[in-house]
Amino acid sequence: MSQQKELALIKGKDRFVFRYEPGCEENVLDALIDMANDRASDFDWFDAAVLSFQLSKHLVEEADHLLCPERRPSRSSSGESQNPRG
């Protein structure tokens, strides 16, 4: 069972929340575009850009976790001290 994802933006007294299933990111982007195009909405293109950046960041983090689950920081104090050449 997939876990529902959420993007949220608080702008003044308004709160914009987008909940979606993994794999439906394209639908979220379409909704952001529709809202930014709606002149009756206080949601503008900057807001759409902020949320689309959040969405992209989540996707990159998810992909990184799936592709490299054992990934650790590349530099560690123990790794540096094991260098025989000092």
What pLDDT score does 65 carry?
A: 87
Kindly state the percentage of the chain with pLDDT values over 70: 79
The pLDDT mean for the chain works out to 84
pTM of the model: 0.72
Taking each continuous run of H as one helix and of E as one strand, the counts in the chain are 3, 2
pLDDT at 86 > cutoff 50: no
Of 80 and 67, more confident? 67
What is the rounded average pLDDT of the residues 64-81?
64
Whole-number Cα distances in Å, 16 to 4, 42, 65: 16, 10, 28
The closest of 3, 2, 9 to 53, measured between CA atoms, is 9
Query: Is residue 1 pLDDT above 70, yes or no?
Result: no
